[in-house]
Amino acid sequence: MLSKTFSLLFFLKKPRNYKSGKMHIYLRFTVDGRRIELSTQRDCEPEKWNSHAGRKIGNKEDVKLLNSYLDTLQNKAYDIHRHLIDHNIPVTLEYLKSMFSGKEGKTISLLDVFRKHNDEMFALVGRDFTLSTCNRYEAALGNVSKFLFYKYKAKDIEIEQLNYSFISDYAFYLKAIRHISHNTAMRYLKYLKKVVLLCVKNGWLARDPFFAFKISFDEVDRRPLDLEELFKIANKEFNNYRLRKVRDIFLFCCYTGLAYVDVKNLHRKDIILGHDKKQWISIKRQKTGTPSRIPLLAVPKTIIDLYAEDPACINEGRLLPVLTNQKMNSYLKEIGDVCQIDRPITFHLARHTFATTVTLANDVPIETVSKMLGHKDLKTTQHYARIVDRKVSNDMAKLSERLSVLVE
């Protein structure tokens, strides 16, 4: 972020409890109306000081030495300013002060903090974070880096320069320049906000620049598959083995409610005998670490048996031959087109379908559904599981029958 104005001035400053005698000589930097003062470790009699020139008056050797020293400091300051401009580094009081005092490594920059945050996340992959979560933060770091170059022609920025205008401009850049959808842009802003709040908590930032900025999401149509659409996919004959495999794994999750990462990590040991002597899935969800126990219905049991001898399952000890999330979604799009389903099908739609079409719409209590999904509270389950119209209609029909009996 290049400065609009830059100036420096040498001036005299009275020592504490000053009465008479010499005063300290200070150097004042002014950048865009803000200023900072540094001691030169020299002093001068006020009557011998030329405030306009910022130098000591006289021709004696000690005067020449002092003025020469001040010239050296001034040249150093201008050299630093020129270096920052030439290297597209933001010209700020903090940078000037740190470089002038030889402590340029002490400045705290946004991308440095972001990289450290991401490095620590990657170090905890498999324990606290998934690789996909880390990759999303890496993408967010890349977006901020590109924005800095686009907006300020800078490679980095000091965190003290973050303000509401920076956040607002970044949001505009993501949507208007990068053509990223509103909700995805808001997610990138959430990732940035997490890093910014680290700076606030560490005392590096006095105020949260997100304070007046509202991160809001547009409501997305996450309408689950209805029974007709679910049966369409289940009964469709696919000659392509990969399409058939992706369809089967998708159906498995429609009847178990597992998220992509959980079905990918599923192993034989995760299938247990429950108290009813029937097969259950028993796992800890990767995303939250909460337990999830799901009785196996007929469809998922059939699919497990179908891929028991699949080379990928045998070689890697996995329950199902799950492809990457990107490939799964790519094939699901093709499956949706072939089955003439009028909206995009993503892998996550299986979890919604389980929560609504398979369970709640068939009178499974929401508390039970929440437990199987591995949610910590019912609010999360309500987000996934919108009661379908058929369920509302059936419930109201039963109510109507009861009321009609009371009237009679």
Look at residue 170 in the predicted model and tell me its pLDDT.
96
User: Cα separation of 68 and 46, whole Å?
Assistant: 19
- For the chain, how are helix, strand and coil distributed in percent, rounded to 5? 55, 15, 35
* CA distances for 341 relative to 228, 250, 330, 334, angstroms: 10, 15, 15, 10
- 103, pLDDT greater than 60: no
Q: Average pLDDT of 298-322?
A: 92
State the Cα angle at 37 between 102 and 152, rounded to 5°: 70
Please report, rounded to a whole number, the percentage of residues in the chain having pLDDT higher than 70: 93
**β-sheet bridge partners, residue 291:** 284
Residue 339: closest CA among 255, 223, 230: 230
Band (pLDDT 50/70/90 cuts) for residue 4 is low
**β-sheet bridge partners, residue 38:** 27
* CA distances for 316 relative to 266, 272, 282, 333, angstroms: 11, 19, 19, 27
Residue 11: closest CA among 77, 34, 42, 3: 42
Three-state helix/strand/coil letters over 311-323? HHHHHHCECCCCC
User: 195 versus 107: which is more confidently predicted?
Assistant: 195
Look at residue 347 in the predicted model and tell me its pLDDT.
93
User: What is the pTM assigned to this prediction?
Assistant: 0.58
- Answer yes or no: are the C-beta atoms of 247 and 231 closer than 8 Å: no
Look at residue 175 in the predicted model and tell me its pLDDT.
96
- Answer yes or no: are the C-beta atoms of 256 and 296 closer than 8 Å: yes
Quick count: other Cβ atoms within 10 Å of Cβ 289?
11
- 388, pLDDT greater than 70: no
Strand 34-44 and strand 49-50: pairing? Answer: unpaired
The predicted-structure confidence for 105-150, as pLDDT tens digits, reads as follows 456 889 999 999 999 999 998 778 878 889 999 999 999 999 999 9
Residue 217: closest CA among 383, 39, 79, 37: 383
- 2, pLDDT greater than 60: no
> Average pLDDT of the chain?
88
Q: Average pLDDT of 287-314?
A: 90
User: Cα separation of 361 and 41, whole Å?
Assistant: 79
Band (pLDDT 50/70/90 cuts) for residue 407 is low
